[in-house]
Amino acid sequence: MKVEFVNPFISAAFAVFESVIGQRPERGQLSMRKTTFTTQQVTIVAGVSGQISGTALYGMSLVTAQKIASALMQSELTVLDEMAWSALSELGNMITGNAITLLANNGYDVNISPPSVIRGRNIEISTKTPAIVVPMMTQQGLVEINVALEENDMAQAKAA
């Protein structure tokens, strides 16, 4: 996987957290995961299609999800209700949408699928490409960004 596919997701996540939640996260050490699976209790999953295809996952603990949803909704939540799940899904939509815009600015024709929120640990998401994992420390807790994207044949042919 090309770094130019991962960097837009990192930039977008930082920009969205700064803009919407009002704080700048810290980036942890990059790593690679051979298969894409949820290691956290809550994972926002967004599909990417077009010249680049694959999956972006944003994983976090249940406590972190509750704190992030509280910050998004500007209200202290004691449980993750339907509105909180919707807010978390929208967070994934904002990050992925911003990343797609950055990819488009680099000449890639890409789209996203509406994000889904999965609750559960060690759920495997089938991808053809290994994931680059970027830990992001926020005031609410750790958010793990997993990006598993590959360039499709039509994009490779166009670049040649």
Instruction: Dig out the tokens for 119 from the structure.
Output: 């609750």
Amino acid 1: pLDDT: 67
User: What are 53-78's pLDDT values in tens digits?
Assistant: 999 999 999 999 999 999 999 999 88
Q: What is the pTM of this model?
A: 0.89
* 124 vs 137: CA distance, rounded Å: 23
User: Exposed (0-12), middle (13-18) or buried (19+): which is 4, by Cβ within 10 Å?
Assistant: middle
Q: Does domain 3-159 have CATH number 3.40.1550.10?
A: yes
* 102 vs 119: CA distance, rounded Å: 29
User: What are 120-142's pLDDT values in tens digits?
Assistant: 877 777 777 888 999 999 999 99
User: Domains of the chain: which residue ranges?
Assistant: 3-159
The answer for residues whose C-beta is within 8 angstroms of residue 75's C-beta and 6 or more apart is none
User: What are 76-131's pLDDT values in tens digits?
Assistant: 988 899 999 999 999 999 999 999 999 999 999 999 999 999 998 777 777 778 88
* 140 vs 69: CA distance, rounded Å: 10
